[in-house]
Structure 1
Amino acid sequence: MIYILFLISTVVYGQSKSANNNCPCSISSEISNWKPQLAKGFDTKATADNFAHSLNGMYLSEDRDSLYQIKIIIDAKAYGTFVHFQHLSFSKAKLLSKQVTTCEQLPNVHDGGWINASIFSPVKAINKKFAASTFFLGESNFRINKTSSYRLYKCDKETKFGIFDLNKQRYYRKVHWEPEGSFTEISLVGFIQNDLKRYSKQQLAEMKNAVYARYNYAFKGNGKWYAHFNKKPGYRWNYFKDITPFITTLEKDNIEYITGFEGAEYYDNQKSNDFLDFWEKLRTMVPENDTDKLNDLIEFPFTIKGVEDGIPELKVSKQQFASVWPMLLEQENFGINGSNKPVSSLSKSVFNKADAFAAQMLHTKSNNIANLVFQKMNGLWKVSRAYADPDLYPKLQRMLTAKKVKPFTKKNQ
């Protein structure tokens, strides 16, 4: 008897959680691989192209009693390329109007956890980000973690796109989504310091609060931002006291970044700091491995110093630089991460990051990043010096004092 009751309860639970397989493109025979052309980027004004060429957007799936919503945003400015990934689960029983999505309708999904006229709270939120350099498997799958991945699919019956959870066998349909209101870039692109130089302090403050307003945050009734957004018809403000489940990692990072940038002294110094422009130029040139192009940004003779006192400086000519530079970029740097664990990275990795020094105060005459020193000379920024660790320094010393400098290879590193 106990076994029969268990069997019945198992069947009922299985039915309650079963996916709606009557929707188009919910069986493997109806779909094919979707290979978006990510190089085309994301254009908020070109909705159709975004469906075909970008992963950016909202994806919906549902079973008998729950609706699942995934938001994916690719940030091409970050290290490698970060994808900001948010997964929300909503209970249909908690929908205020009992409204659910149907196979025939692909509603516009707005920020703030509401679909069309319905505002509802999530049951579960998973918020993370991962790197595109490791998350793509071929061109039609992307990885969430070491064991889970999604397949990108195209509906053969209709020109629609989606993602398929390989583990849970769940199909998510891509639906129209775009942030609404002002300063929507905070929800789409990871900021670097050069970006924030374009805004006033008032604009930065409004940009941060615009995120809260889009998620229907309950501003104080007599406060500045309540009055500000109350005048804007595009916001459904003053509903949630906690918008934490809705906010993405990208928006959280940008808000924290803006907050640090807003400090009076920090903001004023960085807004007028032309090192940021120099850094962006250098950052884009280094990965090309063309030292001839770099010559205009290097101070010659280029100086190499050891990390210990009393070691003589090494002078590098323009002719020698092409062999020395790759070796300096391969030097390993050590530090401590946010969990107080030791981490290491090669010097060249700093150039792969759009903003390698977000939390640092950048000086207006000289800066140190990784093992490199930057100085402003006669109104122009230059890479003036590098430090070599005890392992690298003698190799460079022998190479520079030799009659003929050999081209750099990993064998003679």
Structure 2
Amino acid sequence: MMKNISFFILNLFFVAFASFAQQKTAVKNCPCTIPSEISEWKPQLIKGYDTSAYANNFANSVNGVYIAEDRDSLYQIKIIVDAKSYANFVHFQHLSFSKARLINKHITRCEELPNVHDGGWIGQNIFTPVKAINRQIVASSFFVGENYLRVDKTRFYRLYKCDKESKFGIHDADRQRYYRKVYWKPEGQFTEISPFGFTQKEVKKYNKQQLAEMRNEVYARYNFAFKDGSKWYNHFNNKPDYRWNHFKDVTPFLTQVEKENIKYITAFESADYYDNQFQNDFLTFWEELRKSVLEQNQQQLQSLVQFPFEIDGDLDNMPILKLNSQQFEKIWPLLLQQENYGIDEKGKPVSFLGKSVFNKDDAFTEQMINTRSNSMANFNFEKVNAVWKLNGAYADNELYPKIQNLLNTK
């Protein structure tokens, strides 16, 4: 009897081992998951962005969703290069999902890749995030040599192309995990809130009701459970395309660009600002100034500067330094490199260089919504004869004497 039991247990072991071996073999034979079938993929940042191609706006299509899986978990990476930020910002999101409740543990089959819909839907399955990583990264530090990307000091992903199917993917060498790119695009009526950062120019296209619907559509896209009988419950209940009313908290799904856009357009919904925004002519000036700084176009920049340009020091005994156009050209790079200090949303001190305020569209307007301030970082602005100008800057105790010495040097 013991002999039969032992034989039965041994058979079970071999069946289990064979099943596991078959699963491992199937994954290894999937196209785009073995080194011999892939080649290096360089998206060529210098060729820029095709903003007319909505869901494919970064050279050779970095933007999108990549998925991979192991025995117990499913992983999803979403990469959005914000074309409207002069390629300065990359939004990186990594979501993990447990497959514990699935009967068939294999999702990313070799013969097909499932469509991915926001809100945990992959193929026919909906998943709850186990862990979410959301980061906003400067493109120059994110793309290294353009053939792999770096999320932090230790996490690197190689960009690759599958030679058999001409599909793209990223490879995590440390974990030997191949993320294959899948079909994805935001769904709904107001999808533009997801792929790039909003400026006042975008917001002006919509009335207050549309802005409110746009915000809530993001939550609906991620299957947020609106309160029964509420305005937005009834609104999205009449839209059969939405797979909504599933999660009480969809925060893990929100990308950094969506969080910033929601915060931004919420401010525009307030009556006092929205009704007056069309009379705010600072935006046109800011866009021209920002472009001239990023493109290092000195001639265009100086046309937007009020001369004499004034440098103010930190102490009372530091007289205001007045610069002509030639002096300004020498001093300007120093002002861009000056370190500034502030407090972030969590109340923690942060530092940033003066030039960083020009990395984001419409950074000044966001501050104007709340404070109507006429300064940003170490730069001052003024309306001169009904025209906006960059009229001065602040120099700290370290920078002020350097500027003074340069001005005194013939």
Work out the CA distance in 2 between the residues paired with 1:176 and 1:51: 16
Counterpart of 1:187 in structure 2 is 194
Counterpart of 2:359 in structure 1 is 352
Cα 1:317/1:92, change in 2 over 3 Å: closer
1:319-398 equivalences under 5 Å are: 319-338=326-345, 340-357=347-364, 359-361=366-368, 367-398=374-405
CA shift at 1:155, angstroms?
A: 0.7
Work out the CA distance in 2 between the residues paired with 1:96 and 1:215: 24
Work out the CA distance in 1 between the residues paired with 2:376 and 2:231: 40
Work out the CA distance in 2 between the residues paired with 1:312 and 1:162: 58
Work out the CA distance in 2 between the residues paired with 1:114 and 1:302: 56
TM-score for the superposition, normalised by structure 1: 0.83
CA shift at 1:374, angstroms?
A: 0.8
Work out the CA distance in 1 between the residues paired with 2:295 and 2:123: 47
Paired amino acid for 2:284:
D
Cα 1:244/1:379, change in 2 over 3 Å: same
Counterpart of 1:230 in structure 2 is 237
Aligned counterpart in structure 2 of residue 41 of structure 1, from 46, 49, 62: 49
CA shift at 1:198, angstroms?
A: 2.9
CA shift at 1:142, angstroms?
A: 0.5
CA shift at 1:107, angstroms?
A: 2.5
Work out the CA distance in 1 between the residues paired with 2:53 and 2:302: 40
Paired amino acid for 1:388:
A
Counterpart of 1:281 in structure 2 is 288
CA shift at 1:146, angstroms?
A: 0.8
Aligned counterpart in structure 2 of residue 304 of structure 1, from 292, 295, 311: 311
Counterpart of 1:134 in structure 2 is 141
CA shift at 1:400, angstroms?
A: 3.6
Work out the CA distance in 2 between the residues paired with 1:318 and 1:50: 39
Deviation digits for residues 214-254 of structure 1, max 9, x if unmatched? 12222223111122222323212223333233222222222
Counterpart of 1:106 in structure 2 is 113
Q: 8 Å contact 1:24–1:157 — kept in the other structure?
A: yes
Q: 8 Å contact 1:148–1:166 — kept in the other structure?
A: no
Work out the CA distance in 2 between the residues paired with 1:227 and 1:351: 42
Work out the CA distance in 1 between the residues paired with 2:314 and 2:182: 56
Structure 1 stretch displaced more, 222-231 or 335-344: 335-344
Paired amino acid for 2:259:
K
1:389-408 equivalences under 5 Å are: 389-400=396-407, 404=410
Cα 1:343/1:121, change in 2 over 3 Å: closer
Work out the CA distance in 2 between the residues paired with 1:149 and 1:352: 24
Work out the CA distance in 1 between the residues paired with 2:50 and 2:377: 32
Work out the CA distance in 1 between the residues paired with 2:338 and 2:321: 16
List gaps (5 residues or longer) in structure 1. 1-7, 405-413
Counterpart of 2:9 in structure 1 is none
1:118 aligns with 2:125: yes
Cα 1:227/1:150, change in 2 over 3 Å: same
RMSD: 3.2
Paired amino acid for 2:74:
L
CA shift at 1:30, angstroms?
A: 1.1
TM-score for the superposition, normalised by structure 2: 0.84
Cα 1:391/1:233, change in 2 over 3 Å: same
Structure 1 stretch displaced more, 362-371 or 148-157: 362-371
Work out the CA distance in 2 between the residues paired with 1:284 and 1:297: 11
Work out the CA distance in 2 between the residues paired with 1:365 and 1:256: 17
Cα 1:390/1:69, change in 2 over 3 Å: closer
Aligned counterpart in structure 1 of residue 271 of structure 2, from 264, 276, 290: 264
